[in-house]
Amino acid sequence: MALPARLTAALGRHPDHLTEDDLQRAVDNQIPESVDLDWKKDFYQGTDAGKKELAKDVSAMANTAGGMVVIGVHDGNQDHAHDLDPVELVPGRGEEWIRSVLANWIQPVVPNVGVRVVKSAAKAGKIYWVLTVPPSTQAPHAVAALGNDYNFRVHVRHGTTTRTLAESEIAQRYRDRFQAASDDANRLRQVVDAGLGYLSDYVSRTVDGRSAPVTYYPGWVSLAVVPAVRGTYPLTTRADRDAAFNRFHDLACHAVTLNARPHHPQLVGRRQVRFEGLPTGQLHQDGSFYAAQTISLHNDQRDADGPQQMSQRAFELDLVTLVQAAAAWAAETGAAGDLMLSAALHRYDGSDKTVRLVVNESAFQHAPALPLPATPAQTTGDLAAIVTDKREAVVVACALASDLLADMGAHQPRSAAFLWWAKDQPGRLP
């Protein structure tokens, strides 16, 4: 989960992995509360007032910069970690109760809130609650009691306290949300245009009298991805770019195929790492991604003069691989939130000939002969979900493939054929 880097630096460990010893060090060092950190002595009451307080604390974090609420650490009324005071686990008010309150009292729901129990070794039977709240791209999140649609309040963190936004401030937050969506769309177009221009240059380039790559690879599938919450990865120096390329090379090796693994050497790019070959692409420092992989267009052995054929299974596997690689890079840069994805098919040999999609090789099932679709497919996906559960990459790739394949006469993707691979590998990419 992407959280303010300051928290990891202050606590000495990522909030997802805190232990009681880490909390004791926070007390010893008197780590102060801040806009992204709230120490709380007592667990929330089961009353409406207690539920409202829980919703208020979480929504305020999400509306500001994200952060963490720790229950069981007393601030001593001095706004810093003063003493450990773990709480009893209250029957009926565990993780399920917390998530139910957040779902029912906050609109829209804050996505990807982490809820952890840290057991106390010093006081048997007692625990600490750690609530981690990522920055949200769906802010502002309002708090309202069940059945009361006319009493919304929007809260933000203000230093070590929480305050309620005025009507004019709420209006500005909504304008910011809609502007962010527009910015994401514009950024996606920039990434697509830059990547497509780079790919077009590569496939048509001749070096030392050798044939251009388009001679051997006329067909390509590309994927462009932009994260809603941008990351940051230093790509200023040669050493920075080398490190980024090598890290991505390792990440790409853990996708469903090795087809997203780039070839050495990496090339210089403005705030990006570029690579050519199979695949060709760009890694941007803000977590954005563009990569293109060849698609196999081959002649029909039974009809040499007929339309070329394209394997649906191979196309879908490559698309899943590119989705996994894109998510891995975005997470590596510290990006968060949703991913906006755009996939497209390209033909660079100047041919407008039709292509016949091979749906099932063994059963000789073929779709009608049609040109490659000219319109890209777009969808969104949750970055944390894709990185944590590889099956999510299949779901996202399925959404993209559905639109592209529909234009080629296929009724649906065949992704179920390789869900066998994903179902037994739920682990996150390294």
What pLDDT is stored for residue 150 in this prediction?
Answer: 52
Least confident of 186-190, 317-321, 390-394: 390-394
pLDDT confidence tier of residue 2, bands split at 50, 70 and 90: low
Give the mean model confidence (pLDDT) for residues 66-80: 91
Pair of tokens at residue 400: 């993209």
23-68 pLDDT tens trace? 999 999 999 998 889 999 999 999 999 999 999 999 999 998 888 9
* This prediction's pTM: 0.67
Give long-range contacts, CB 8 A cutoff, 24+ apart: 393-398: 393/256, 393/320, 393/323, 393/324, 393/327, 393/422, 394/320, 394/418, 394/419, 394/422, 396/323, 396/339, 396/341, 397/316, 397/319, 397/320, 397/322, 397/323, 398/316
The answer to whether the beta carbons of residues 295 and 357 sit under 8 Å apart is no
Q: Tell me what pLDDT residue 183 has.
A: 87
Residue among 4, 34, 55 at smallest CA distance from 229: 4
- Residue 260 C-beta-side C-alpha neighbours within 13 Å: 33
pLDDT at residue number 283? 96
* pLDDT at residue 55, rounded to an integer: 95
Which CATH class, in words, describes the domain spanning 5-165? alpha beta
Residues 380/341, Cβ–Cβ less than 8 Å: yes
- Inter-residue contact 275 to 245 (CB < 8 Å): yes
pLDDT tens sequence across 222-272: 999 999 888 888 888 888 899 999 999 999 998 888 999 998 888 877 789
Q: What is the band of 363 on the pLDDT scale with cuts at 50, 70, 90?
A: very low
Reading phi first (left if > 0) and then psi (alpha if -120 to 50, else beta), residue 145 is in beta
Q: Domain segments of the chain: what residues? A: 5-165, 186-423
305-309, 322-326, 327-331, 361-365: lowest mean pLDDT where? 361-365
Q: What is the largest CA-CA distance in the chain?
A: 83
Radius of gyration (Cα) for the chain, nearest Å?
25
Average pLDDT, the chain: 86
Alpha-carbon 367 to chain mean position: 33
What contacts 331, CB < 8 A, 6 or more positions away?
2, 383, 387, 429
Reported as a single tens digit per residue, the pLDDT across 102-141 is: 999 999 988 889 999 999 998 989 999 999 998 887 889 9
